[in-house]
């Protein structure tokens, strides 16, 4: 079997980075739309607090990593936090998370795409923070 060459590795690395950037950007669009048209104040406040906390701990990106050891997907984990986390909502609920993302028109495969879901969260929080002081 022939060993992969450096050119192939670089080409695939660039292709992977482009796919991740596209997923993140698409997620941002969905997040901004949700924040603008459907999200409630308390949901956006929870999401903004989650991002602040995770960024202070330097694990915002890890929260969305599909391989972080969690039995729950990124979309399920984020939905649980939007709903209030363990103390309010309890454990993540796959059925309710799927219904939430379906309500937003999100394709099922994107619910499990960490970059897409991180983009969703960032897009929603960024839009929320731009108007929060005016509310």
pLDDT digits (tens, 9 = 90+) for 94-133: 899 999 999 999 888 898 999 999 999 999 999 999 999 9
Q: How far apart (Å, rounded) are the C-alpha atoms in residues 72 and 56? A: 23
Nearest to 17 by CA among 112, 115, 106: 115
Residue 14 lies in a domain: yes
Q: Around Cβ 59, how many Cβ atoms within 10 Å?
A: 13
DSSP class of residue 4?
P
Count up the domains in the chain and report the number: 1
Residue 1 lies in a domain: no
Range of the domain at 72: 6-134
pTM score, two decimals?
A: 0.90
Residue 24 lies in a domain: yes
């Amino acid at each position: 079997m022939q060993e992969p060459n450096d050119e192939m590795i670089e080409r695939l690395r660039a292709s992977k980075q482009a796919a991740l950037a596209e997923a993140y950007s698409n997620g941002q669009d969905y997040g901004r739309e949700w924040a603008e048209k459907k999200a409630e104040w308390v949901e956006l406040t929870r999401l903004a607090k989650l991002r602040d906390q995770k960024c202070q701990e330097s694990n915002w990106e890890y929260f969305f990593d599909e391989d972080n050891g969690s039995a729950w997907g990124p979309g399920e984990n984020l939905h649980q936090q939007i709903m209030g986390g363990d103390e309010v909502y309890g454990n993540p609920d796959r059925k309710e998370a799927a219904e939430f993302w379906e309500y937003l028109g999100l394709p099922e495969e994107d619910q499990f795409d960490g970059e897409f879901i991180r983009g969703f969260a960032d897009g929603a929080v960024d839009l929320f923070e731009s108007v929060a002081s005016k509310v």
